Structure 1
Amino acid sequence: MSAERPSLPPVRLNSEAELARDALAAPLFVRAVRLARWAGPDTRVGAGGELVDAQLPAAAEHLGLPADEDGAAYASEAWRLAVDTGLLDVTDPEEEDAEGTVSAGENLGLLTAGSPQDVLSIWLDGLDAVHADATAPVLDDFTDLVGEDGSIDFDALDWDPEAEAEFLDGVLGNLYLLTLADNGAGEGPVPLPALAASMIVPDDMGEPTDDILEQVSEAMMRLDDQFRLLEPIGIVEYRPVDEALMVEEGEASVDAVGGDEDDVTRYGMVKLTPLGLYGVRARMLEAGVDAPAVGDLAGKGADALLDGIVHYPESAARAEVKLWLAGYADGAVS
């Protein structure tokens, strides 16, 4: 009996060695590694593992960042990633108001002494951390959420973390599908309005209503912020929305979309990188999505190969068979 049709077409991934090199070259990851190697016995952190404000200027200077608020923010972001990915180990203070210390984490050594799989595993932890940051609520004034007794009113945030994560994962999933469309012909950048519309506009809707267009505009601006955060971890190449298109409410109107190509690019363009394909697929697999990759069937029996490629596009099927035959010649297939 033939295998069921996979829910997604097979993806051709770069080798793990190539992907690991891409991960190590991602700008945010580079900064995190540099700060992890910069940290020493005199480095002090707060209760949550964050670098204390007094040391942010030195961290920014080490990274070659400007000595201003932006430089401090980028340094803080890189520091958090170093902690989240185990490049640094934080020792909490023994006393309540004291400061903690840090030391090199085990994962820092794996970046040079470990395998490509080790590097990619650490990078995936970083992707999860950045994804969580991208779906976190934007707080205009945190003091409005603090009650008289000092407690935080989380209900006032009007924020559903699961829904936010599901929305971003849905967008990344659509971008993944568009990248694989037409046997790879869809590898060019995707206009942000089209990506936002893919999550908002019903499939059976003809002309979008004003309400739908407003929702697409809001989703565009939400995605603009999120892709700005995701780009430095190496998952996407992103051209942000032209700030000149912003209206007073902080949204970009989509009414003009549909003009020539130059106009469309001003509304944001996004493309998954080869590392991004790997990262999105890894998140899909973790969520239980059937996301095959060319090479998955190498080393399996002939029956599994024939059942597996029956729904593959011709080019992917040829590549899969080629890899299977190579494994057969090497004795990997019994």
Structure 2
Amino acid sequence: MSAEPHATLPPVRLPSDAELARDALGAPLFARAVRLARWAGPDTRVDIGGELVAAQLPEAAAALGFDAADEEGAVLASQAWRVAVDTGLVDVTEPDDDDGEEESGTAVPGEDLALVTGGAPGEVLDLWLAALDTVLADASVPDLDGLVDALDAGGEIDFDQLDWNPRREADFLDGVLANLYLLTVAERGAPDGPVPLPVLAASMVIPQDMSEPTDAVLEQVSDAMMRLDDQFRQLEPIGLVEFRPVDEALMAATDDEELAAGSAAGAADDEDVSRYGMVRLTSLGLYGIRARMLEAGVTAPAVGELADKGADALLDAVSGYPEGAAQAEIEQWLTGRELPAAVAELLAAARGADEGGPLRRLRCQQALAPAGPEAEPAVRAVLDDPELGGLARVWLSERGAADVPAPDGAMVFWLTVDTIAAQLAADGETAELPLLMESLTAHHTGFFDQVWRVEHPATAYVLEAMGRLHPNKKAAKEARKAAFKARSRQS
């Protein structure tokens, strides 16, 4: 799969391998491939390449429950047979045409067929991934009518006439699926609502720095949307996506220019948007695209992978996760651990004057939020720690604990700097951050006269941010002066 080898994606939340394997076995195309593998026997005949001979397609279609005389059933049988061969569910012996005589090869159930019922979930998923490769390759091929028109006198495909580059088409589909994956995991890390087809098409065509698409670009979006409509129809039977195709009545009633404009700009309401096509990656689809990305060298984490790692690895990793995914990862890490020891390990891992320290402490605080009385001894043990003492006091006070010592001024200012630095690292300059700044500074007279002296590596950085963002103009000016003093002090 085409991808930036060093790219890092948000974590995905996946069901267990057992659940995914059940989904794989239930995917219509994979299930049909399994049925044909069981149907194959001594009388099964194949051509060069392992394709069923034409005379056997009606019988294969009937084995799948289709009308033997139905042309669509024969097409579906042919697709399923190709998947069965490519995945090893069927073993074929191709015909030997060295003697010039027209003979057919044979096919029998393959050894891998036994994995369908007797294999581990991971082995079933490996078979499904092989099937997915076949379907993706087929989806990158243009329609057969175009291929026939592009045959030259020698029966070879004239790719220039067809205007089809196999690598380019495969990269396009890979890019679309990568974008769909990112849209899915960036929001919730798991399948949620469907994505409008025009959004995907536009993501592949419209340059990010183009504020207003030209008519030519809109036409390209329309062309891409129609390509995707055809490709997702082919990908749905393997269980990769749930897909609502473009409304055929809409295509019949709309010219290319109107379709392009409507597809790129969207429509006024949800019902109109859905007429342009909607697609949603399934959990199995997320698993499949992630597997292909990992193979391409992309860092695509999954929630739960850190369960057997130390607290230092956990906090470092979840510092880059969206809040919901971070919480899910932390919960899985805590499961099965003795809480007092786990809390102590988390607190120890949260220390550090490095740039990532504030966000580690924020994630540690997030991890401790649901902890009960069992965690109190470990938390009280860090009350005198200059980096963790403020966090510990907040945690104990929120639970109404007795005998919580009041923080001195130095700890209050240090915690303020650390909190704002963590928020900046987690979410950037959000709309809520100025309100947090105002809340943290409102109750301290002469705050900016003192805070620039705080021994925190992010003091100047935080004060500069406050100078830009603080909603009170006078306070913002004081923050800028304090930032200058902090920078000078550091120098």
Would you say 1:83 and 2:85 are equivalent positions? Answer: yes
Equivalent of 1:210 in 212, 215, 225: 215
Equivalent position SS for 1:58: helix
1:236 counterpart residue number: 241
Equivalent position SS for 2:108: strand
Equivalent position SS for 2:48: coil
1:301 counterpart residue number: 310
Contact 2:191 2:281 in 1 (8 A): no
Contact 1:172 1:280 in 2 (8 A): yes
Equivalent of 1:93 in 86, 92, 95: 95
Higher relative contact order (CA 8 A, sep 6+): 1
Contact 2:14 2:287 in 1 (8 A): yes
Of 282-291 and 300-309, more deviation after overlay is shown by: 300-309
Equivalent of 1:153 in 152, 158, 162: 158
Q: What's the offset of the Cα at 1:248?
A: 9.1
Contact 2:197 2:276 in 1 (8 A): yes
Contact 2:89 2:109 in 1 (8 A): yes
Contact 1:83 1:89 in 2 (8 A): yes
2:224 counterpart residue number: 219
The verdict on how the C-alpha distance between 1:143 and 1:292 changes in structure 2, with shifts beyond 3 A counting, is closer
Would you say 1:113 and 2:115 are equivalent positions? Answer: no
2:260 counterpart residue number: 254
Letter in 1 for 2:245: P
Of 10-19 and 54-63, more deviation after overlay is shown by: 54-63
Contact 2:13 2:189 in 1 (8 A): no
Equivalent position SS for 1:253: helix
Work out the CA distance in 2 between the residues paired with 1:124 and 1:222. Answer: 23
Letter in 2 for 1:270: V
**Structure 2: where are the runs of 5+ without partners?**
1-5, 343-491
Of 259-268 and 235-244, more deviation after overlay is shown by: 259-268
Equivalent position SS for 1:48: helix
2:203 counterpart residue number: 198
1:310 counterpart residue number: 319
Q: What's the offset of the Cα at 1:79?
A: 0.6
2:54 counterpart residue number: 53
Contact 2:36 2:81 in 1 (8 A): yes
Of 60-69 and 108-117, more deviation after overlay is shown by: 60-69
Equivalent position SS for 1:255: helix
1:8 counterpart residue number: 9
Equivalent position SS for 1:213: helix
Work out the CA distance in 1 between the residues paired with 2:280 and 2:177. Answer: 10
Letter in 2 for 1:85: T
Of 228-237 and 157-166, more deviation after overlay is shown by: 157-166
CA offsets 1:71-119 (integer angstroms, 9 cap, x no match): 1101100110100111000012233421000111111101111100000
The verdict on how the C-alpha distance between 1:196 and 1:304 changes in structure 2, with shifts beyond 3 A counting, is same
Letter in 1 for 2:48: A
2:285 counterpart residue number: 276
Would you say 1:135 and 2:140 are equivalent positions? Answer: yes
1:36 counterpart residue number: 37
Q: What's the offset of the Cα at 1:148?
A: 3.3
Work out the CA distance in 2 between the residues paired with 1:32 and 1:6. Answer: 35
Equivalent position SS for 1:259: coil
The verdict on how the C-alpha distance between 1:310 and 1:155 changes in structure 2, with shifts beyond 3 A counting, is same
Contact 1:35 1:59 in 2 (8 A): yes
Runs ≥4 residues deviating over 6 A = none
Contact 1:299 1:327 in 2 (8 A): no
Work out the CA distance in 2 between the residues paired with 1:149 and 1:258. Answer: 48
- Structure number with the higher helix fraction is 2
Contact 1:178 1:187 in 2 (8 A): no
The verdict on how the C-alpha distance between 1:8 and 1:149 changes in structure 2, with shifts beyond 3 A counting, is closer
